[in-house]
Structure 1
Amino acid sequence: MVLFNRFKLFNLNLEAVQIGPASVHLHFQSFMGRGVMVQSVLPVQPMVQKLVHVFYTGVQSINYKSKVKKILDNRSY
């Protein structure tokens, strides 16, 4: 993000990977660290869907650190 075409505030790298029709993994890296957002669309009933977002980061919690590392290391790109 650049403010007034002069000041660089922060850098955010994003990569989205769609896995099938109902799941997206958004891999991100910023000055705060890296992580993954998993988005899933779950059918509830006909014509009704539930959208679920789950964030995994290695910055805040030790428990999720191994999960994030596993997801980031298994990327196919």
Structure 2
Amino acid sequence: MKRMPSSFIVMSLLVMVFLYLPVVILIGLSFNASTMGVAWKGFTFQWYEKLATDQAILDATVNSVVIALLSTGMALIL
């Protein structure tokens, strides 16, 4: 079996970091008490509490789940 070139491995790792690092940072900052993500003001679930009590977001989530289930069912039938 041929061994992959080290440049391919390095480039693959750089692409993975480029894609996943912003997601990791966003998840970390979602627990920040500050309204601006620049300075850390403490750990909180306030944004998730607001998300869980916003009726428009809940309606959109239900619609997304229904569409996902219908699409999955249709794909399985086909």
- The bucket for the TM-score relative to the shorter chain is under 0.3
- Which structure has more helix as a fraction of its residues? 2
By relative contact order (CA 8 Å, sep 6+), the higher-ranking structure is: 1
TM-score norm. by structure 2 comes to: 0.24
Greater Rg over alpha carbons, structure: 2
- Which structure has more strand as a fraction of its residues? 1
